[in-house]
Amino acid sequence: MIVEFGYGILILTFILSLYASGAAIFGAVKKNDKVIETARRAQLLTFPLLAIATTSLVYLLISNHFEVNYVYSVTDIAMPLYLKITALWGGQPGSLLFWAFLLSIFTSAVTLRKWDRDRDILPWVIVVTSVTLGFFLALIIFFENPFTRWWQTETGDFVAQMFAPTGAILANPMDGQGLNPLLRHPGMIIHPPLLYLGFVSFVIPFAFAIATLITGRTDDRWIRLTRGWTLLAWLFLSLGLVLGMRWAYDVLGWGGYWGWDPVEIAALMPWLTGTPFLHSVMIEEKRGLLKIWNLFLIILTYSLVIFGTFLTRSGVLSSVHAFAQSAIGPMFFAFIGLTFIISTALVITRWKDFHSDMPMKSMLSREALFLLNNLLFMGILIVCLWGVLFPLISELVTGVKVTVGPPFYERAVAPLLAALMALMGIAPLSVWGRSTLKTLGKAAWKPVIPTLVISILLFSFGMRNWIGLIGFTLIAFVIMISLFEFAKGTKARVISMKENIVQAITHLVTHNRRRYGGYIIHIAMVVMAIGILGIEVFQTTAQKSLSIGDTIEISGYTVQFDSLAQFPNSDGRLITRAEMSIFKGDQFLGIVHPRFDVYPSGQPMTIAGVRSTLADDLYIVLANWEDVSSSKAPFKIYHNPLINWLWIGSLIFIIGYLVAAWPAKERSSN
């Protein structure tokens, strides 16, 4: 019953989204406000309808309806409730439905706003969002239906279909296959939804950009209207990425947080265009420059969002060659290609209308430095695209199957990231329109002195790794410049407004939230870079088979293997858990418990025991679970210096975001 109901709702929503896009085009062309209003209402309805459809699927998931193929494939009886709910995005059909549901929330919110000043672009915003929603609904209904059920035919075979084949009876499996153990983690509650929210929010600025192009506007109103959405998308995407790193660090048991696999890159790419977009729209707002570029960036971001959605949940984890195996792969590529071509064609036809209000003159002006920031981000994007596409190109052109791994990305991206950090330091010192080396030098010398002191200290304390030295110097540079900017503004207020320091800082920030929130985000980024540099450059490992009582040395620590225990968990897992004491010299520091779990399906999962401090993590992996009886077990230990700063930086990032995006009370800062 629920199954047919949910599926029916999906079809109804699909028809409504088709109607909304058709009626909006018709209404806009014929200038018929009544028809546009019906399109708007149709679009508003998609939200409650998809909420019902999603709830139906969640109900099936939590009530063990294993006759439904999707429920069967991602849940089992023993899974805790929260995991059964998160199984909504544990497989492709459910993920697509969840995506469509999130999009319907955002599009409804957008269509509910006051449109008085922007009546002309409303229908086109509806068209773009409804077409996107319609595409996802079509995929769900025709290719990846989460409501298909198992049927046993007369010949005894099992088939998964929406409706009963002739003579078949409903098959009712006793238990499901369960969620992949790697996904059974509290991170599952928050990481995929955040990434998806980030992806989906970018659809809104894209829709406004296209509407602007079609209606013949040339102003930056679309940017101002959607700034909140862009910032929100960027926040969600950034946090989604960081949480993914944390999850990988906690669960995958290889001592790292980022492995440059195609799925990670797919999630990173929209961020690589969204971040420069956030910067370059400021140039358009302040200087009337880079209008075409901004349109192009948001179009590219939208394409990468759709691409990322496809790649992150299609199960093509290990190989880019597997695209074609998914039935919906060609559909995705067709949709991405089509929307990209139409959007780019729109930009080209209106190219002449978007001339810059004033030319860019100085190579060191703030707008030029922002442009440089954009180019560096594009550079990183090209590196990522090359890494994903090069194997395909090589095979097509030369017939040689090749691949590039993490060393390729690290080597190519590191210099670009270093240049970006240098820019993050210099750009706040520049001014709009004109800066010279002299003015920059004058602004920079004060923060440069403490920066150099830090580098010299690092060197004199024995750091000889030049990547580390350059990296930490750049990090110190950005932090110093940002702090000096705060200090300069505060001092000016203390002197001119006679405020005390707390008042001065508060007013400084509240009167220019975007600027000072931006500085806090810059600090957050380089604090994260401390952690990344620490683990990438200074990680050490040791591995050894230990009998009980044996020790292993790593980076000045001594780790002792105390005991090993094996016991079943209530959900059917067999847990093998070691107890390890950590010492530094004679000083006892604590106990950690690396373990591995074997799921009833036989799939093992390794959970590291981690002792975490601000200075470093000791990340201890119990590696082999077959030799438990021999009382000898092999361990692999990673010493990860400074990694905690990666997570701390992400918290500072949230603070910076709140400062930058909090609705201004008194007056708008720009």
Partner 1 sequence: MVSGRNKFLVGGLFILAAVVYLIISSTKASVEYFKTVDELLAQRETVMGKSIRLSGAVVGDTITYNPDSLTLSFEVAHIPGKNEEIDAAGGLAAVLHEAVSDPLRSRILISYSGIKPDLLQNEAQAIMTGHLGDDGIFYADELLLKCPTKYEQGVPEQVSGN
Residue numbers of the site for partner 1 (CB under 8 A)? Answer: 66-67, 72-73, 150, 152, 158, 169-175, 177, 180, 318-319, 321-322, 325, 359-361, 363, 368, 371-372, 375-376, 379, 382-383, 386, 390, 400-405, 407-409, 411-412, 415-416, 543-545, 596, 601-604, 606, 623-627, 632, 634, 636
Q: How far is the CB of 543 from partner 1 (least distance, A)?
A: 6
Contacts of 429 (CB under 8 A, 6+ apart): 435, 440, 443, 444, 481
Helix (H/G/I), strand (E/B), else coil: 665: coil
Nearer to partner 1 by C-beta: 169 or 495?
169
Distance CA 472, CA 458 (A): 9
User: Which residue, 527, 411, 418, 425, is CA-closest to 469?
Assistant: 418
Q: How far is the CB of 318 from partner 1 (least distance, A)?
A: 7
Nearer to partner 1 by C-beta: 385 or 463?
385
C-alpha distances in angstroms, 651 versus 197, 476, 527, 612, 642?
19, 19, 10, 17, 15
Nearer to partner 1 by C-beta: 9 or 265?
265
Nearer to partner 1 by C-beta: 623 or 654?
623
Nearer to partner 1 by C-beta: 255 or 531?
255
User: Which residue, 175, 185, 189, is CA-closest to 75?
Assistant: 175
Longest dimension (CA), the chain: 89
Distance CA 502, CA 361 (A): 39
Q: How far is the CB of 386 from partner 1 (least distance, A)?
A: 5
Partners of residue 108 on adjacent β-strands: none
Q: How far is the CB of 190 from partner 1 (least distance, A)?
A: 23
Distance CA 380, CA 81 (A): 41
Contact (Cβ atoms closer than 8 angstroms) between residue 173 and residue 219:
no
Distance CA 436, CA 430 (A): 8
Nearer to partner 1 by C-beta: 101 or 596?
596
Nearer to partner 1 by C-beta: 127 or 381?
381
Q: How far is the CB of 438 from partner 1 (least distance, A)?
A: 18
Q: How far is the CB of 462 from partner 1 (least distance, A)?
A: 29
Instruction: Taking the CA atoms of 394, 399, 403 and 404 in sequence, report the sign of the dihedral they define.
Output: negative
Nearer to partner 1 by C-beta: 450 or 572?
572
Q: How many CB atoms lie within 10 A of CB 437?
A: 10
Distance CA 557, CA 568 (A): 32
Nearer to partner 1 by C-beta: 199 or 377?
377
Distance CA 551, CA 333 (A): 54
| Token pair for 148 | 């298909």
Q: How far is the CB of 494 from partner 1 (least distance, A)?
A: 40
Crossing angle of helices 203-215 and 92-112, in 10° steps, is: 50
Q: How far is the CB of 330 from partner 1 (least distance, A)?
A: 16
Q: How far is the CB of 524 from partner 1 (least distance, A)?
A: 26
